[in-house]
Amino acid sequence: MKLQDKVAIVGGGTGAVGEGIVKTLLSHGATVIVPMRSLEKEESLRQYVAPTRTGSLVTYAYNIGQIEQAEAFREAVLHEFGRIDMVVASLGGWSMVHHLVDMPMAKWKEVLHNNLTTHFLFAKTFIPVLEKQNNGLYVNINGGAQENIAPLAGAMTIISSAQNRMVEVLHHEAREANYRVRSIAAFTPVQTRARGSAVDSSWVSAEDLGNHIAKLYLGKVSPDPITHKLT
């Protein structure tokens, strides 16, 4: 229980990968805070993490895809907990439907919003807290699309690369400070509850990602590049 007394926020903690990260951080004893666009997904998440008897799950109904709500969420968390040790952004979702030039404008805007703008909003909301504390870890969860082009998923390559550059910028802007900004990228599909048995045991699991975050926070990953590629 190495993260006992640590406060972690998992944006996207209702998602396939995010819920596995939530469960793993709980297993290390952390208090894990998950914002939800609605509380409809709360029951499913609580059932999933129920076997984990350590840590504490706290949920808030805020849509962090909108700046006003993201800021209100941050203020509510700071009011209740006073500090944040870890921020994890496991935001967005896969889109594999169109050749790039066939993508309808509405779909492009949706993918851009869910996979890039939400990351910008989340960082814009929480990096200043780590900056003020001069302490803590910010983690972006990304995938192998940043390097690989999959059929009909060109937008994911563009956005995944942009996410990676965003983390590099945030890291650069934090270079004089004591808090860290990192990306952890799964270079395989991820084993999640949502995939059920349709997984390959050689793939990275959501728990692997959670354990990597825990070790990274504790300074137990060496080397420690800006982007950690899990294969």
Ligand X SMILES: NC(=O)c1ccc[n+]([C@@H]2O[C@H](COP(=O)([O-])OP(=O)(O)OC[C@H]3O[C@@H](n4cnc5c(N)ncnc54)[C@H](OP(=O)(O)O)[C@@H]3O)[C@@H](O)[C@H]2O)c1
E strand intervals along the chain? 7-11, 31-36, 56-61, 86-89, 137-143, 180-186, 190-191, 204-205, 227-230
Q: How far is the CB of 125 from ligand X (least distance, A)?
A: 12
Question: What is the C-alpha separation between 148 and 151, in angstroms, rounded?
Answer: 10
The structure tokens listed for 146 are: 């940043």
Nearer to ligand X, 92 or 136 (CB): 92
Nearer to ligand X, 31 or 59 (CB): 59
Q: How far is the CB of 101 from ligand X (least distance, A)?
A: 23
The residue ranges that bind ligand X (CB under 6 A) are 12, 14-18, 37, 41, 63-65, 90-93, 113-114, 118, 141-143, 186, 189-190, 192
Give how far Cα 152 sits from Cα of 102, 104, 117, 155, 171, Å.
10, 13, 21, 8, 31
* Position with the least CB separation from ligand X: 15
Q: How far is the CB of 193 from ligand X (least distance, A)?
A: 10
Q: How far is the CB of 116 from ligand X (least distance, A)?
A: 10
Nearer to ligand X, 186 or 214 (CB): 186
The structure tokens listed for 227 are: 């982007």
The structure tokens listed for 135 are: 């302490």
| DSSP codes joined into one string, 183-207 | EEEESSPEE-TTTTT---TTSEEHH
Where is 29: in which H helix or E strand? none
Nearer to ligand X, 63 or 211 (CB): 63
Nearer to ligand X, 114 or 135 (CB): 114
Q: How far is the CB of 163 from ligand X (least distance, A)?
A: 7
